[in-house]
Copies of this chain bind each other. A is one copy, B any other.
Amino acid sequence: MFITLATDFGTSDYFVGAMRGVILARNPQARIFDITHEIPAHDIRAGAFILLAAYREYPERTVHVAVVDPGVGSARRPILIVTPRYFFIGPDNGLFSYVCEREGEVRAFHLTNERFFRHPVSATFHGRDIFAPVAASLTLGVPPEEFGPPIDDLVQLEPLAPQRVGENEMRARIVHIDRFGNCITNLTRADLTEEMIARGAHLLANGRKISSFRRFFDEGTTDEPFAVWGSAGFLEIVIKLDSAAQKLGLVRGQEIIVRLAGD
């Protein structure tokens, strides 16, 4: 009965308001919650990360609708993904790659059954005309199989995990910069272990060495950048009460070198 929305539509247009209306017109009992509508326009990787960071907080059987859809109207497929705990609806362009990596067990369906669409189906706004009404129908109990044929060749992004390069180096990257300028990397505690850190592992960001690992944002006493395990489960590069992104000139997508020993 819960539907979440994560899009790059912004909130200044009629887009999101229209999607909500379409859902309610089909299932007045549906409860709709925003994850965000401020995913950078057309940025599939950014959307994939935001979704990854939020989806698991929701109750089982929540329907997560995500729309970052530069290819709307073209040959890219509208899809439904079913995992043991959740449903995901949106374009087949990699937006669900990271959640699929994490969920593991995944079934996918190509949304072709126009009976569940809003008509006329525009060529430019499948969020309103396909994804929203399919989400509403799903919360009404329509079985996934009815929306279209199963598929097993989902578009995948490159994996989220960092790459090991030789014995002493990993190539990580910044996957998100949050409102406060904190730079979230793709390094998990499994990638960069306590043992590695104890042995002197450190980061290189734009040539700047970051070797201080702390526990929370307010802990620093200077304006030196440091690393902290963030709330999404990834290592973040931060500066106390300041924007690390701005101070260090870091942007999303940028490579971060992890030196496991030496410097």
Contacts and interface: CB of A to CB of B under 8 A. Distances in A.
Contact of A180 (B21, B41, B230): B41
Interface stretch (A68-76, A108-116, A162-170, A202-210): A68-76
B122 A21 contact: no
Interface in A98-148: 122-125, 128-129
The range of chain A's interface size is 35 or more
A194 interface: no
Contact of A54 (B18, B56, B179): B18
A11 interface: yes
Nearest to A25: B59
- Give the oligomeric copy count: 3
Interface string A63-98: 000000011111000000000000000000000000
B179 A12 contact: yes
Interface stretch (A153-161, A213-221, A255-263): A213-221
A230 to B, nearest CB: 6
B36 A13 contact: yes
A218 B28 CA distance: 34
Contacts of A20: 33-34, 57-58
B217 A10 contact: no
Interface string A41-57: 11000000010011111
Given A14-B232, A21-B57, A122-B230, 15 more contacts: A12-B39, A13-B36, A13-B176, A15-B178, A16-B34, A17-B33, A17-B34, A20-B33, A21-B59, A24-B59, A74-B216, A122-B229, A123-B216, A123-B229, A124-B231
Interface of A: 1-2, 4, 6, 8-22, 24-25, 28, 32-39, 41-42, 50, 53-59, 62, 70-74, 122-125, 128-129, 176, 178-180, 215-219, 228-232, 236, 241
